[in-house]
Homo-oligomer: A and B are copies of this chain.
Amino acid sequence: MIETPYLLFLGDAPDQLAAKVAQGIRDWRPDNAVGQFRMDGCKADLGLPDMDLAAAKAAGAKTLVIGVANRGGVISQAWKKVLVTALEEGFDLASGLHNLLRDEPDLVAVAEATGRALHDVRVPEVDYPIANGVRRTGKRCLAVGTDCSVGKMYTALAMDREMQARGMKATFRATGQTGILITGDGVPLDAVVADFMAGAVEWLTPDNDPDHWDLIEGQGSLFHVSYSGVTMALIHGGQPDALILSHEPTRPHMRGLPDYQLPSLEALRDLSLTLARVANPDVQVVGISVNTAALSEDEAMACLAEIENRMGLPAVDPFRQGAGRLVDALAAL
């Protein structure tokens, strides 16, 4: 669990895209971010107050979150000066970078001396159990994709926001580094040892009120040969009551796999239901989330109408339209 609120460190981000982790926190958990810390030459701007460490401390910030992707994967000396000072001034540090904070001897030494925490959210910090398959109380929703990176996290976050607005009981359950930094906790599922994947998902989505929904962040795709085992563990560990099919309609092939075509939404529906019924015989597919960012408004509407008509399920782009109809479908279960 990462202590909130955050000061978002944008470093010397070369452009806005490099700060997409910080942007995610800004978009989805604005209450978690008191301000942004930008170094000379930073080209990203979240529209948050610029703060130095002292101002952020005064505003209540507990953790400096590295919300920027660095070039070459190294934690630069230019950053180091800020990070060390932050530890000395009482901030914890959190990062999703490939290069770990804990592998930097100077940061480790200062963190130990000051009693502060270094959170590398790519690294599991819990000894997860082996899944036991016991049915849990409460309800769970999982987005499964025709491919990786089709908008599963966005869909779950948008549904969570809509459900909070309606006063429904809901919790977004992060399973990847960006989601963990946004919410402050979760399971970095792709870094969990194979035997414990499904158990980690059970741990993440425990017994809850009968009318509470966990919105589990999806990963990978059953049709993506590199990561399908992770998706499988989400389906069997999550024992979802509701599935959302996620799709990006313009992709020419599976992400990173030029020889692999995307499956149809029908194939995704049938396979996902077959597998999910092993853990929860009552599971239903309730809707379809389509990422139409590459389409014009007219094209997007036509695409959504075609899918909705063909599949007999609400088909929505939550970025263009909000997640209201997907939440309606959950509420109707």
Contacts and interface: CB of A to CB of B under 8 A. Distances in A.
Contacts of A79: none
A295 interface: no
A283 interface: no
Interface stretch (A104-112, A164-172, A194-202, A308-316): A194-202
Interface string A140-172: 000000000000000000000000000000000
Interface stretch (A48-56, A65-73, A85-93, A222-230): A222-230
A271 B273 CA distance: 11
Which interface class (under 10, 10 to 19, 20 to 34, 35 or more) fits A? 35 or more
Given A134-B259, A259-B133, A259-B134, A225 B193 contact: no
B195 A193 contact: no
Given A274-B271, A278-B260, A226 B194 contact: no
Interface in A256-296: 256-257, 259-260, 263, 271, 274-275, 278-279
A124 to B, nearest CB: 9
B132 A229 contact: no
A37 B192 CA distance: 38
Contacts of A222: 232, 275
Contact of A229 (B197, B257, B274, B278): B197
A223 B232 CA distance: 10
A236 B230 contact: no
Interface of A: 130-135, 189-195, 197-199, 222-223, 225-233, 236-237, 239, 254, 256-257, 259-260, 263, 271, 274-275, 278-279
A129 to B, nearest CB: 10
B226 A232 contact: no
6 contacts: A130-B226, A195-B226, A225-B279, A228-B236, A229-B229, A229-B233
Given A133-B260, A259-B133, A260-B133, A194 B233 contact: yes
Contact of A194 (B192, B278, B279): B192
A256 B183 CA distance: 34
